[in-house]
Amino acid sequence: MFWKRTKIWLQYAKRNRWQAVGFLLFGIIPLAIFHLLQRQIEVWEDAYLDKHGTSTAASAFVVVVDFIAHHPIWSIILFAVSVILGLLIHAYIATHPFHEYEKEAVSHDRPEESGSPEGQKQRETHGKPVAGQLPEYRPLVIPAEYGRNSERSSYGLFIVNPGYTALEVHIPTVGVASSGYTLVFPPKLTQFGERDHKCFMEAWLEHPTLPGRDGGQLSNVMRTANIDSLNFVIRYKDLDSVWYKSNCRIELDVSLQSGLRAIFLGQALLGDNPEELQESPPSAEMIHAVHVELTPSQGQADRMYLEVENFGEKQTFHAQCRVLARRNDPNPQRLLTLDLGWVRNKARELEIRRGETCSLYVARAGQGRPSRDIEWIEIVGSPERVQSQWAIGQVTPLPEYDVEIVIFGGENQQPYSEKFTIRAGRECALEMFKLKADSEVWEDAGS
């Protein structure tokens, strides 16, 4: 990446010579200043000695100052400063985006992207990339690390794009070998450019017969199944609708906090043939979602529950609450993903029969913590609670959250989710209502 940026900068320097020369001159400023200082000290010494002679103590001091100014140690220090400035300049070249110039250079080198008649003609006759031959100007989406996102309190893959803008970035579902689990990523990322820096793609584990797990359990699943590595691909396309894939691998690495290392293996060209992009047909377990209906508590109360009615087969369920937004919050905090508990057994997982309804404990409101002048609401979950506090009568309108409740089942592959708003009410109460009229089922990450 550094040499690519340096090459771009040199091309920029050819067209913007005065700016480039001025930028490079910055490195010789210390040398020029020091040289001028040495000459001035020498002039001062000669003038003083001509006037006062060499027999006084002051004259000796002047000679010592001149000696120190011309001592080789200063040349060494100056050299070190020049090296440091040179490194800073190179770091600037390596990290400065030069976005506008890059766009100009691409248009100059590829007239088909301009609006000129010549460009129009080239667009009409522009051939498709040769199979296996990667174009020079292309996106490159690669994994940075697999780990925990502290802002969302969930695990997944951090990706970066040091190349050009990528569209429809997605990671197809990956089978974790003999464990029976599949590693699932969220739907497509619409657009991802270099300016976006790192992007987080949350991951979780699903199983056709066992309860799902969050992405932080991937290393445990791999060790239990005696799996050392897991191959996966990242798919995306460029602005010309040419598709690429980045071949990647997740390996066990005990030296890292997450226990996993994400590695980029190489990039391949997929072209624009839909047959090359078609995924293998999903299995019977993957095409059905968890069949449940969610009903929040009606009216205002100091505790909010969510009834879950199971219309499918008897299975073990667990639920998560993902905080999507916080409004009117006098002490806003990061958005978290929490595991909710069931009222019946006060546990994370619960087996529910067909036609049976069980409740999740979602949120509560109260007063007097730490003083009677304080009201609060909180979403009750693990590993920590999401809470808002305010002084009575000093916050209008009152705090509210947008949340997504996700129901994971044991017999079905896809989780079920609905979005709700939890709003504080007067006198230590709150209410909960659906954010959208229609429920939604997560799109398969591989589609």
Paired tokens of 109: 């080198």
> How far is CA 133 from its chain centroid?
29
Q: What amino acid is encoded at 59 in this protein?
A: S
CA distances, 210 to each of 173, 178, 291, 440 (Å): 17, 14, 16, 23
CA distances, 438 to each of 135, 170, 320, 334, 411 (Å): 44, 25, 19, 28, 24
Tell me the backbone φ, ψ of residue 72, rounded to 5 degrees: -60, -20
Q: What amino acid is encoded at 102 in this protein?
A: E
Q: Which of 126, 133, 196, 128 lies closest to 165 in space, CA to CA?
A: 196
User: Is residue 354 scored above 70 in pLDDT?
Assistant: yes
Q: Tell me, what's the pLDDT at 346?
A: 85
CB 325 within 8 A of CB 401: yes
Q: Which of 397, 343, 340, 391 lies closest to 367 in space, CA to CA?
A: 391
Q: Tell me, what's the pLDDT at 274?
A: 41
Higher pLDDT, 214 or 42: 214
Question: 333 CB contacts (<8 Å, ≥6 apart)?
Answer: 326, 386
pLDDT band of 196, cuts 50, 70, 90: confident
CB atoms within 10 A of CB 348: 16
d(CA 443, CA 447): 7
Q: Tell me, what's the pLDDT at 184?
A: 92
* Strand boundaries in 142-208, DSSP class E: 142-149, 154-160, 166-170, 174-175, 182-184, 189-192, 199-202, 204-206
Q: Which of 284, 290, 321 lies closest to 403 in space, CA to CA?
A: 321
Question: What confidence tens digit (pLDDT) does each residue in 326-336 have?
Answer: 888 877 777 77
Long-range own/partner contacts, residues 8-12 (CB < 8 A, 24 or more apart): 8/98, 8/101, 8/102, 8/105, 9/93, 9/96, 9/98, 11/101, 11/105, 12/98, 12/101
What mean pLDDT comes out for the span 50-75?
Answer: 75
User: Is residue 21 scored above 80 in pLDDT?
Assistant: no
Question: What confidence tens digit (pLDDT) does each residue in 396-420 have?
Answer: 788 888 988 988 876 445 678 889 9
What's the N-to-C CA distance of the chain in angstroms? 31
Q: Tell me, what's the pLDDT at 289?
A: 63
Q: Tell me, what's the pLDDT at 191?
A: 86
Tell me the backbone φ, ψ of residue 26, rounded to 5 degrees: -55, -30
d(CA 428, CA 425): 7
User: Is residue 287 scored above 70 in pLDDT?
Assistant: no
What mean pLDDT comes out for the span 365-376?
Answer: 76
Paired tokens of 425: 């009410």
> How far is CA 5 from its chain centroid?
23
Q: Tell me, what's the pLDDT at 232?
A: 94
d(CA 191, CA 165): 7
pLDDT band of 115, cuts 50, 70, 90: very low
Question: What confidence tens digit (pLDDT) does each residue in 334-344 have?
Answer: 777 888 999 99
Q: Which of 33, 26, 24 lies closest to 74 in space, CA to CA?
A: 33
CB 322 within 8 A of CB 406: yes
Q: Tell me, what's the pLDDT at 149?
A: 87
